[in-house]
Structure 1
Amino acid sequence: MSTFLNLLVYGLADGAILALAALGFVLIYKATSVINFAQGEFLLVGAYMFYTAFVVLGLPLVAAVLVGVVVATLIGVLVERFILRPMIGEDPISIIMVTIGLSMLLKALVQMFYGTSPKSQPAILPRSSVEFLGATVPLNRLLVILIAAVVLTAFTIFFRRSRHGIAMRAVADDQQAAMTMGISVRRIFALAWVLAAVSALIAGVLLADISAVDQNLAGFGLMVFPVVILGGLDSVPGTIVGGLIIGLLTQFVSGYQDPGLATVVPYVVLVLILLVRPYGLFGETRIERV
């Protein structure tokens, strides 16, 4: 029972971080129809930007978070303005290749400035443990679940209640109709990239705190793709469900079977869901007649 509860908590924490990272992927796809293969590197850059502000510059925690948010916002705006906007109307394969090139560029820049060795960072979340149903579980993992839940709830309220959130949903549904209503599609595109970068920053900071600040963070970000395929490319609730499923599945396979097998399982799920339900659990099914 103790092992099960520990794996459950670890899986929920990993799933919550995956949901945050996948949220940015879905936002970009819904608003711009661009499949962003650089989402994992956004997570990597976010973690290193926070490390720079918090450790290298010695800023307080709140100030370091604000610096990270500002940098993530600038990255999102610059990528949309100077890399993706000139590609509007181009072949989708060309845009995909641009995002792949962007991922390589971001990873290379991180290696250039920080090297490839892991960086040490003071713990943000407490390292103590708590007793839960007879099992000892790490407090920082529980707090990761709580923080991710708060952030995901805030994003959900933003999409449903705020003017910009409603505008993003309108652009996602029909760009031409949104333009006739006076909505700036280009601004919504930029906002989607900014929110994707900010959600990746939060995911990267949480992941770095419970693991380490190193290049493997981008590898964790690769699991965004099984998450969004499972949940649905255009479904925000699907990212939450998909992230939790992948996180739990990975931890349970690692704990009860083989850790090596656990790294393969998310991609097995990806292949299976593409074969059985290519639009995902919550994705919108579209039928196109040509």
Structure 2
Amino acid sequence: MGPFLETLFGGLMVGMLYALIALGFVLIYKASGVFNFAQGAMVLFAALAMARFAEWSPRLTGIDSKLVANLLAFAAAALLMVGLAWLVQKLVLGRLVNQEGITLLMATLGITYFLEGAGQTLFGNDIYKIDVGLPKDPIFLFEKAFQGGVLVNQEDLAAALIAAVLVAVLALFFQKTGTGRALRAVADDHQAAQSIGIPLDRIWVIVWSVAGIVALVAGIIWGSKLGVQFSLSLVALKALPVVILGGLTSIPGAIVGGLIIGVGEKLSEIYLGPSLGGGIEIWFAYVLALVFLLVRPQGLFGEKIIDRV
């Protein structure tokens, strides 16, 4: 039972990180109808900004404190992502209103390559480490219930808690604030929301800004675990099967889909890997997403689209 629970907990914690990245896809799609293929590049760009700003902060401020450097770096990276959201809206998406979905998708692909190139130009292409003080040593839990206990990585546990708190904050923001209700109104019907005075341009900038902050938090966590490198954008794309599973328009679906993918990857690697060969974690999520596309294309919590003619 102990090894099974270790695998299960590991999968749940990784799944929360997948869900955190998937939220960026869902938020932007719900508010603007744009499938943001650039979300993975946003995670990479934000992580690069955080890592480099944390290095530069002591030299610029003269304060040799890791906590101060991290706080200043986070604030600067967050402002950068908000500025990026404004530029994307003003220079790209604001000029493509009412265009075909494929046009908007290609625009986000262009943003992807721009961010990857800009990140390399501004911050370099080395592998950087983000150290925000997350504990690294594993601990044993439930030692009295199971012989030897359950080994849990403290960093994964802390990262999962941070992701869960951010998800809860976003849920409260959407449910309890006026801006959150406006965002939900825009998601339900753009034209109706505009007819009652909700400014779509401002709402879209807010949504892209929130998605940028989410990408920053996800980038910090993944950067702390794996180091900040350009393969990080590929890790972030693991959120694509998550949104297919949970539904592209559902925030709860992103959370549930992330947990299913995380747990499924870990359990399949441990219990199916010996018979099917290694590397199951690489393709498991995409095969599961393909099955869902064949059986339930709208995902577990997505809205079923019915066209009447």
TM-score normalised according to structure 2 size:
0.89
Alignment partners' CA distance in 2, 1:18 and 1:272: 19
Name the counterpart of 2:156: 141
Whether contact under 8 Å (1:11, 1:250) holds in the other structure is: yes
Tell me the CA shift for residue 2 of structure 1: 3.7
Tell me the CA shift for residue 5 of structure 1: 2.9
Whether contact under 8 Å (1:228, 1:242) holds in the other structure is: yes
Matched length: 290
Shift in CA distance, 218/31, structure 1 to aligned 2, threshold 3 Å? same
- State the secondary structure of the residue aligned to 1:57: helix
Tell me the CA shift for residue 118 of structure 1: 1.7
Alignment partners' CA distance in 1, 2:16 and 2:292: 21
The sequence identity of aligned pairs, in percent, is 38
Shift in CA distance, 15/259, structure 1 to aligned 2, threshold 3 Å? farther
- State the secondary structure of the residue aligned to 2:152: strand
Alignment partners' CA distance in 2, 1:84 and 1:160: 26
Q: Which runs of 5+ in 1 are unaligned?
A: none
2:161 pairs with 1:150 = no
Counterpart pick for 1:274 among 272, 280, 293: 293
Tell me the CA shift for residue 193 of structure 1: 0.8
Whether contact under 8 Å (2:70, 2:132) holds in the other structure is: no
Deviations 1:48-75 (A, max 9, x none): 1110121233352222222221111111
Alignment partners' CA distance in 1, 2:250 and 2:72: 33
Name the counterpart of 2:88: 79
Whether contact under 8 Å (2:268, 2:281) holds in the other structure is: yes
Amino acid at match of 1:270: A
Whether contact under 8 Å (1:55, 1:121) holds in the other structure is: no
- State the secondary structure of the residue aligned to 2:279: helix
Counterpart pick for 1:209 among 199, 204, 224: 224
Q: Which is higher, the Rg of structure 1 or of structure 2?
A: 2
2:127 pairs with 1:118 = yes
Shift in CA distance, 127/36, structure 1 to aligned 2, threshold 3 Å? same
Tell me the CA shift for residue 245 of structure 1: 0.9
Tell me the CA shift for residue 259 of structure 1: 4.4
Name the counterpart of 2:136: 127
2:17 pairs with 1:17 = yes
Tell me the CA shift for residue 119 of structure 1: 1.6
Whether contact under 8 Å (1:9, 1:141) holds in the other structure is: no
Alignment partners' CA distance in 1, 2:177 and 2:35: 25
Name the counterpart of 1:222: 237
Deviations 1:201-240 (A, max 9, x none): 1111111112211112101111111011100010010000
Alignment partners' CA distance in 1, 2:239 and 2:307: 27
Amino acid at match of 2:294: L
Name the counterpart of 2:61: none
Alignment partners' CA distance in 2, 1:74 and 1:195: 12
Whether contact under 8 Å (1:234, 1:283) holds in the other structure is: yes
Whether contact under 8 Å (2:28, 2:34) holds in the other structure is: yes
Counterpart pick for 1:88 among 84, 97, 100: 97
- State the secondary structure of the residue aligned to 1:288: coil
TM-score normalised according to structure 1 size:
0.95
- State the secondary structure of the residue aligned to 1:131: strand
2:6 pairs with 1:6 = yes
- State the secondary structure of the residue aligned to 2:186: helix
Shift in CA distance, 49/114, structure 1 to aligned 2, threshold 3 Å? closer
Shift in CA distance, 121/30, structure 1 to aligned 2, threshold 3 Å? closer
Name the counterpart of 1:105: 114
RMSD of aligned alpha carbons: 1.6
Alignment partners' CA distance in 2, 1:235 and 1:269: 18
Counterpart pick for 1:175 among 163, 182, 190: 190
Whether contact under 8 Å (2:42, 2:215) holds in the other structure is: yes
Amino acid at match of 2:13: A
Tell me the CA shift for residue 135 of structure 1: 2.0
Deviations 1:149-181 (A, max 9, x none): 110000000000000000000111112221222
Superposed, 1:16-35 pairs within 5 Å as 16-35=16-35
Name the counterpart of 2:78: 69
